Amino acid sequence: MTELRKTLERVAHSIHRRGLTHGRTGNLAVREGDHILVTPTGVSLADVSAAELSVLDADGRHLDGPPPTKEAFLHVAVLQSRPTAQAIVHTHSVHAAALSCLADLDQAQPLPPLTAYYGMRVAPLEVLPYFAPGDKAATEAVQQAATRSHALLLRNHGPVIAGSDLESALDALEELEHTAQIFFLTQGMRTAPLTEHQLAALQPQTPQEPRP
């Protein structure tokens, strides 16, 4: 059994244990060479087993293991659009899901940058229109949005977050959930989101080219 499979099992159990998903909702995916490992359909993240994962090819065809989650196409679409991404975490975490249900959600900035870690790990957050769970008609919209951001919010559904590995994707998901919680706690109060200058200062600095 590979370490990648063990990591996926551990992260799945951690997500459920910390209440970032409920029931049998939520799913994960990770690249393994030319294949994609995905959590199976109908299985709670609390019960995900490293030995019982769905194996897909790069185009989403089921190759081995139990049937994949019906939302596997979301993971495939994001990974196809983001060649450097290695893992995807999708949950229905309460505050992020609540954010996705707001009628007057600002499409350009659905969450104000209230914390530095949101600015570093999440922003920008792309909002997608509503599609029924498992509706593959969402594929094109997901692919396009994923070229602009690793953090997506599905309307009336929940977040889909890509990362360089599962831990990074989970870190970003938790930061999104935490910031959404702060957003709701401060409704009706004046807040002081980070400025564009403050956000820019948080981004990794590109080394300067040496002068000739």
For residue range 110-139, list pLDDT tens digits in order.
999 999 999 999 999 999 999 999 899 999
40 backbone dihedrals φ, ψ, rounded to 5°: -75, 165
Query: Considering 71, 174, 175, 177, which one is annotated as catalytic?
Result: 71
Within a domain: residue 208? no
As for how many domains the chain has, the answer is: 1
Within a domain: residue 156? yes
Q: Does the structure show a pLDDT above 70 at 206?
A: no
Respond yes or no: is residue 118 known to be catalytic.
no
CB environment 42-77: b (16+ within 10 A), e (fewer): ebbbeebbbeebbbbeeebeeeeebebbebbbbbbb
Within a domain: residue 211? no
- Average pLDDT of the chain to the nearest whole number: 94
Q: Which residues pair with 57 in a beta bridge?
A: 35
Whichever domain contains 107, its CATH number is 3.40.225.10
Which pLDDT score is estimated for 205?
54
pLDDT digits (tens, 9 = 90+) for 129-166: 999 998 999 999 999 999 999 999 999 999 999 999 99
Within a domain: residue 171? yes
Determine the structural domain holding residue 170 and report its residue range. 3-201
Query: Considering 32, 52, 117, 167, which one is annotated as catalytic?
Result: 117
Q: What is the pTM of this model?
A: 0.92
For the segment 44-59, the average pLDDT, to the nearest whole number, is 97
Within a domain: residue 140? yes
Q: Does the structure show a pLDDT above 80 at 68?
A: yes
Within a domain: residue 182? yes
97 residue type, one letter? A
Within a domain: residue 209? no
> What whole-number distance in Å separates Cα of residue 131 and Cα of residue 90?
15
Within a domain: residue 148? yes
CA 147 to chain centre: 14
Respond yes or no: is residue 177 known to be catalytic.
no
